[in-house]
Structures are given as structure tokens and as C-alpha cells.
Amino acid sequence: MNLLPSMSKSHRVSGYALGVREDNRPFVYQCCCIEALGEDINEMRDHPKCRMITYRTFRKHCAGVREWAKALGYDRWLPISKCQYVAFYKSFYQDRPCYYAVHSAIEFIWTEEET
């Protein structure tokens, strides 16, 4: 399930489609659990350093969060920060630091931009 079908993989990794990197947020959208290996997702969720964080912390570190939330149907009258069905986490994905959000049992993952 690609919520942003106009994005190519290169745009997602570069952060272009999910917010231009002028904001200097180091984490860019990588993929969602549907596009990833189940083993990688399980390791990320079960990592000993995985912990729940606030929306504010998530947005502070991840580029394109507003655009992502808008693609899910959230707006200023229904902010994702107030939705009880969305949770935010900090963990490790493929042995790299990551932030991820869980919405409707789908994990959306942001990782540090690859150089």
C-alpha cells in the first residue's frame, strides 16, 4: 500500500517527495511494512531499545511528516497528533537507527538518509 504513489524509491530515500530536506531533519521516509521483509519489521518492533515516543519528538526528527499525515487524511481539524489510533516509536531498522509510526497496524519507517 503506497500512500504516495507518485514517489519513486529514489525520491522517498532522498526525502524529496516527503518534504524537501531544507528543514535538516536527519530521518527520511524509507518504506512501510508492506514493502519490507517481515523479519526486519519484527526485529525493529522487538528491538531491546525500541521505545514509544511523542508525536512532537517524531516530527522533530523526521522529514515530511505533515505531508504523510495529510496523505492519510489528517488535517488541522483532525490532527494526527491527537489520534488515539496512531503510535510513534524510536528503534532500529536493519541495524540503523529509525523512527516509525503505526497507523492501522501498518508501520511507516523513517531512517537516516543513506550517503
What mean pLDDT is predicted for residues 23-31?
86
The one-letter amino acid code at 1 reads M
In a domain, 2, yes or no: no
In a domain, 84, yes or no: yes
Does the predicted TM-score (pTM) go above 0.85?
no
Per-residue pLDDT band for 20 (boundaries 50, 70, 90) equals very low
| pLDDT at residue 23 in the model | 57
Instruction: Please give the backbone phi and psi of residue 80, each rounded to the nearest 5 degrees, phi first.
Output: -65, -30
In a domain, 4, yes or no: no
68-104 tens-digit pLDDT: 999 999 999 999 999 999 999 999 999 999 999 999 9
In a domain, 36, yes or no: yes
In a domain, 18, yes or no: yes
Provide the domain limits for residue 58. 10-112
30-70 tens-digit pLDDT: 999 999 999 999 999 999 999 999 999 999 999 999 999 99
In a domain, 5, yes or no: no
97 against 22, higher pLDDT: 97
C-beta pairs of 12-15 under 8 Å, 24+ apart in sequence:
13/113, 13/114, 14/113, 15/63, 15/64, 15/113
How many domains, the chain?
A: 1
As given in the structure block, the three cell numbers for residue 114 are: 543513506
As given in the structure block, the three cell numbers for residue 88 are: 510513534
In a domain, 100, yes or no: yes
Least confident of 13-17, 18-22, 30-34, 66-70: 13-17
